[in-house]
């Protein structure tokens, strides 16, 4: 409707006469249109962000009200006073603290290990010359296409053979270095470590390990941080393989398995389940608030590099 | 070749380029090392792990799939392609396949369209608070699927679910989201859409920012409006990024597991609903292998079939992309011809 109404005042001004207003007309028109457009822009974006954030708000609403309150119609849409109570129930309902600790151990070990091995391999692929380098790197990229979930059954049989079923290392060891990590660090090293620096370090009699430690690592730290964040995130959120291999040993459950148990066992008590869920996403929320810039840059860079 | 050119060549991001150069230095004499064994030592952890947990497992999956094999009984007997034949006759497997592809479409299509629009809007240097919007959109992506599934499960609950409450307040009959086939697919697809739209938006935004501004300037001089610039410049030039995102989404959604599992929280949750109305392929695989009767051989056959389906689906996406390529070539040829004709007329 407004688009139709808009031109009228401009046309009337134009008929009124002077060349100045004639020139002013279109630009004013454009300015008004751009104001309207930016208003629409911000509305759409704000709506999208609200939709993104709403489930978290809802998590808190359910988790902070008693189950009885949430069962009324229409449901309460503002937070209530029962969060502590619900959280306590959730923590007592499943081995919650144990699961948080397990998840932290798993994710932290995987992250440190991925960073270490990927930096070494990425450095080798970016800066060293050796027979078969091109082919081997292509091979690394090719392995990214192999869907990992599908090795589920043999991996489980293999872990049984090792005697690792139910042990945290069954989750940690297969993830200690990833193709994506090697690829990412190769790009980071190639883009941030100047050859002159490597040559200079070499002249000064630095060993190859010294070079990695004193020259490569300090220059790649920002790029490595992004990889570290995402590696931790994926390890923390991983569900299927931990469920399969740790499922039979409740004391080694990760937080995701504990959540699933919580939701499966107490599904009638939404408030309690939601309190547990909220507690499980809290560490990641804190990390995201602290590192959102790196993570956004990482997602966007990842797209360009891919 | 002098030193400076060599350095420049070193810095090219693509490693293979350098090897083709005439002045290829001796092996093992890069700027960084003299020890010829060092690079092999550095890359070995990846290859060792991949040999054990990658190559071995895929090959072994195939081997297992040729046997009547269960967790309790161990390897029983070689049955050849029996498991695959049985799979093709298994109505539950087909139901799971249809469900998986239905959810895949319901999640990928709206997600890509929304992400494109949001990326176009975000691509504005004058936009205030870009970081706030970007991080707001990326938050769902860092949340675990388990947490997402739990929250959405409650939003879509028949009784006391927020969505049904809104439907009731608007004066309609509440829906039993879990019971219907399509309605449960919509609910599960909405979890996926919610989680990945923001991530794809950022991928598309990065790709849009890589498009040279001169293209848009030229189009503006030719009088193209904003919508035309979006459909004629942005979207065609974004095709590689869209292809990347669609392939990622297709391969990811074919492995849909946690969402349907948790959507059916409570009794019988691995069946994907009373009537398997939201059973997915991977959930079926899981329920066959890691629950009674622990049929490893059979689920290994499911796994290989799923690998095949992923490859086919990816090939289909690439095929559609090639089709677009050809159409574009044709329209470009026609455009050139038209221009040539116009020049003739002008003369």
Phi, psi (deg, nearest 5) at residue A79: -60, 150
At B225-279, the pLDDT tens digits run 888 888 888 888 888 889 988 988 998 899 899 999 988 876 557 888 888 899 9
The answer to whether the CB atoms of A304 and B206 lie below 8 A apart is yes
Q: In Å, how far is B149's CA from the nearest CA of chain A?
A: 10
Task: Identify the closest residue of chain A to B170 by CA–CA distance.
Answer: A74
Using CB atoms, pick whichever of B35, B162, B262 lies closest to residue A208. B35
Answer yes or no: is pLDDT of B2 > 50: no
Q: Which domain holds residue A251?
A: 96-265
Q: Is residue A187 part of a domain?
A: yes
Confidence category of residue B18, pLDDT binned at 50, 70, 90: very low
**Dist CA A201 CA A191 (whole Å):** 18
At B137-156, the pLDDT tens digits run 999 988 999 999 999 988 99
Residues 6+ apart with CB under 8 A from A198: A127, A211, A215, A216, B31, B32
Q: In Å, how far is A269's CA from the nearest CA of chain B?
A: 11
**Architecture of the structural domain at B92-328:** Orthogonal Bundle (1.10)
Kindly list the residues from chain A whose CB atom is less than 8 angstroms away from the CB atom of residue B45: 117, 120-121, 176-177
**The predicted structure's pLDDT at residue B197:** 94
CATH number assigned to the domain comprising residue A232: 1.10.3720.10
Q: Is residue A102 part of a domain?
A: yes
Between A20-29, B21-30, B67-76, the lowest mean confidence (pLDDT) is in B21-30
Kindly list the residues from chain B whose CB atom is less than 8 angstroms away from the CB atom of residue A131: 27
Answer yes or no: is pLDDT of B122 > 80: yes
Q: In Å, how far is A250's CA from the nearest CA of chain B?
A: 16
**The predicted structure's pLDDT at residue A32:** 64
Identify the residue among A73, A126, A135, A151 best suited for mutation to test binding to B, counting B beta carbons within 10 A and taking the highest. A151
At B96-115, the pLDDT tens digits run 999 999 999 999 999 999 99
| Domain range summary for chain B, segments of one domain joined by + | 92-328
**Dist CA A126 CA A113 (whole Å):** 20
Cβ of residue A297 closer than 8 Å to a chain B Cβ:
no
Element housing B67 (H / E): strand B67-70
Number of folded domains in chain A? 2
Q: In Å, how far is A137's CA from the nearest CA of chain B?
A: 9
**Dist CA A37 CA A252 (whole Å):** 54
Strands (E), A52-209: none
Burial class from Cβ neighbours inside 10 Å (0-12, 13-18, 19+) for residue B6 reads middle
Cβ of residue B220 closer than 8 Å to a chain A Cβ:
no
Using CB atoms, pick whichever of B49, B127, B144 lies closest to residue A177. B49
Q: Is residue A184 part of a domain?
A: yes
Confidence category of residue B292, pLDDT binned at 50, 70, 90: confident
Angle formed by the axes of helices B162-169 and B145-155, to 10°? 30
Q: What is the ipTM score, two decimals?
A: 0.82
Q: Are residues A67 and A168 in the same domain?
A: no
Q: Are residues A137 and A259 in the same domain?
A: yes
Kindly list the residues from chain A whose CB atom is less than 8 angstroms away from the CB atom of residue B27: 129-131
Using CB atoms, pick whichever of B152, B155, B257 lies closest to residue A240. B257
**Dist CA B99 CA B122 (whole Å):** 34
**The predicted structure's pLDDT at residue B325:** 81
Q: Are residues A115 and A33 in the same domain?
A: no
Task: Supply B201's token pair.
Answer: 């938006």
Task: Identify the closest residue of chain A to B168 by CA–CA distance.
Answer: A74
Element housing B208 (H / E): helix B181-209
Cβ of residue A69 closer than 8 Å to a chain B Cβ:
no
Using CB atoms, pick whichever of B138, B144, B265 lies closest to residue A264. B265
**Dist CA A179 CA A140 (whole Å):** 6
**Dist CA B253 CA B105 (whole Å):** 9
Element housing B76 (H / E): strand B74-78
Cβ of residue A48 closer than 8 Å to a chain B Cβ:
yes
**The predicted structure's pLDDT at residue B17:** 41
Q: Is the peptide bond before B321 cis (omega within 30 degrees of 0)?
A: no
The answer to whether the CB atoms of A195 and B31 lie below 8 A apart is yes
The answer to whether the CB atoms of A195 and B42 lie below 8 A apart is no
Cβ of residue B199 closer than 8 Å to a chain A Cβ:
yes
Choose among A271, A298, A274: nearest CA to A68.
A271
Q: Are residues A191 and A160 in the same domain?
A: yes
Kindly list the residues from chain B whose CB atom is less than 8 angstroms away from the CB atom of residue A124: 38-40, 42-43
Q: Are residues A104 and A195 in the same domain?
A: yes
**The predicted structure's pLDDT at residue B176:** 87
Cβ of residue A47 closer than 8 Å to a chain B Cβ:
no
Those residues of chain A that have pLDDT short of 70 are: 1-36, 148-149, 302-306
**The predicted structure's pLDDT at residue A131:** 86
Count Cβ neighbours within 10 Å for each residue of A168-184 and write b for 16 or more, e otherwise. bebbbbbbbbbbbbbbb
**Dist CA B30 CA B110 (whole Å):** 49
**The predicted structure's pLDDT at residue A167:** 92
| CB B116, CB B241: distance < 8 Å | no
Average pLDDT over residues B63-88: 79
Q: Is residue A130 part of a domain?
A: yes
Q: Is residue A56 part of a domain?
A: yes
Kindly list the residues from chain A whose CB atom is less than 8 angstroms away from the CB atom of residue B203: 299-300, 302-303
Q: Are residues A20 and A124 in the same domain?
A: no
Q: In Å, how far is A35's CA from the nearest CA of chain B?
A: 12
Q: Is residue A297 part of a domain?
A: no
Q: Please give the angle made by the CA atoms of A176, A182 and A188, to the nearest 5 degrees.
A: 130
| CB B42, CB A120: distance < 8 Å | yes
Residues 8-37 of A with CB under 8 A from B: 37
Q: Is residue A275 part of a domain?
A: no
Would you give the distance in Å from CA B166 to the centre of its chain?
A: 32
Q: Is residue A286 part of a domain?
A: no
Identify the residue among B36, B61, B147, B255 best suited for mutation to test binding to A, counting A beta carbons within 10 A and taking the highest. B147
Q: What residues are paired with B70 via a beta bridge?
A: B74, B295
At B150-186, the pLDDT tens digits run 999 889 988 778 898 888 889 888 888 888 899 999 9
| CB B300, CB B62: distance < 8 Å | yes
Average pLDDT of the residues of chain B: 83
**Three-state DSSP state, B83:** helix
Q: In Å, how far is B129's CA from the nearest CA of chain A?
A: 10
């Amino acid at each position: 409707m407004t688009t139709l109404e808009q031109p009228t005042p401009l046309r009337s001004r134009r008929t009124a006469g002077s060349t100045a207003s004639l020139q002013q007309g279109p630009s004013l028109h454009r300015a008004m249109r751009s104001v309207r457009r930016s208003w629409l822009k911000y509305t759409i974006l704000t709506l999208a962000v609200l939709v993104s954030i709403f489930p978290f708000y809802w998590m808190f609403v359910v988790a902070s009200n008693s189950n009885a309150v949430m069962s009324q119609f229409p449901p309460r849409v503002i937070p209530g006073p029962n969060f502590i109570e619900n959280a306590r129930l959730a923590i007592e309902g499943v081995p919650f603290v144990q699961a948080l600790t397990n998840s932290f151990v798993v994710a932290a070990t995987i992250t440190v290990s991925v960073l270490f091995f990927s930096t070494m391999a990425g450095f080798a692929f970016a800066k060293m010359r050796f027979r078969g380098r091109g082919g081997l790197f292509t091979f690394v990229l090719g392995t990214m296409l192999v869907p990992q979930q599908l090795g589920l059954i043999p991996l489980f049989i293999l872990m049984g053979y090792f005697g690792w079923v139910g042990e945290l290392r069954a989750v940690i060891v297969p993830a200690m270095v990833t193709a994506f990590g090697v690829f990412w660090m190769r790009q980071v090293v190639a883009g941030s470590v100047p050859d002159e620096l490597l040559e200079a370090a070499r002249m000064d009699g630095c060993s190859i390990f010294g070079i990695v430690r004193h020259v490569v690592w300090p220059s790649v730290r920002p790029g490595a941080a992004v990889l570290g964040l995402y590696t931790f995130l994926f390890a923390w959120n991983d569900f299927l393989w931990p469920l399969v291999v740790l499922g039979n040993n409740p004391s080694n459950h990760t937080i995701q398995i504990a959540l699933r148990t919580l939701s499966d066992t107490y599904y009638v008590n939404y408030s309690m389940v939601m309190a547990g869920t909220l507690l499980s996403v809290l560490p990641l929320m804190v990390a995201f608030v602290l590192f959102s810039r790196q993570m956004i840059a990482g997602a966007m860079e990842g797209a360009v590099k891919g | 070749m002098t030193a400076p050119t060599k350095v420049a060549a070193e810095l090219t991001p693509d490693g293979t380029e350098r090897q083709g150069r005439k002045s290829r230095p001796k092996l093992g004499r890069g700027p960084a090392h003299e020890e010829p064994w060092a690079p092999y030592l550095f890359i070995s952890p990846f290859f060792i792990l991949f040999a054990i947990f990658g190559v071995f497992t895929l090959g072994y999956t195939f081997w297992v799939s040729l046997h009547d094999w269960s967790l309790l009984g161990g390897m029983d007997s070689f049955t050849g392609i029996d498991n695959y034949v049985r799979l093709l006759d298994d109505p539950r497997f087909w139901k799971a396949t249809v469900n998986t592809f239905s959810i895949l479409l319901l999640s990928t299509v709206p997600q890509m369209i929304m992400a494109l629009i949001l990326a176009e809007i975000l691509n504005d240097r004058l936009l205030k608070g870009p970081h706030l919007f970007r991080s707001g959109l990326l938050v769902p992506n860092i949340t675990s699927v388990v947490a997402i599934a739990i929250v959405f499960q409650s939003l879509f609950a028949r009784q006391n679910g927020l969505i049904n409450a809104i439907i009731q307040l608007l004066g309609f009959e509440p829906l039993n989201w879990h019971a219907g086939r399509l309605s449960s697919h919509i609910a599960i697809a909405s979890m996926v859409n919610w989680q990945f739209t923001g991530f794809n938006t950022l991928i598309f935004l990065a790709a849009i920012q890589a498009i040279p501004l001169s293209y848009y300037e030229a189009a503006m001089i030719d009088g193209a409006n904003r919508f035309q610039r979006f459909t004629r410049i942005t979207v065609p030039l974004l095709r590689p990024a869209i292809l990347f995102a669609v392939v990622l989404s297709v391969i990811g959604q074919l492995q849909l597991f946690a969402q349907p599992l948790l959507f059916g929280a409570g009794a019988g949750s691995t069946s994907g609903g009373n009537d398997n109305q939201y059973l997915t392929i991977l959930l079926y695989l899981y329920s066959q292998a890691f629950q009674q009767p622990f049929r490893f051989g059979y689920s290994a056959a499911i796994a290989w079939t799923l690998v095949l389906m992923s490859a086919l689906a990816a090939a289909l996406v690439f095929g559609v992309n090639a089709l677009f390529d050809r159409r574009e070539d044709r329209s470009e040829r026609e455009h050139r011809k038209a221009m040539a004709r116009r020049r003739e007329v002008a003369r």
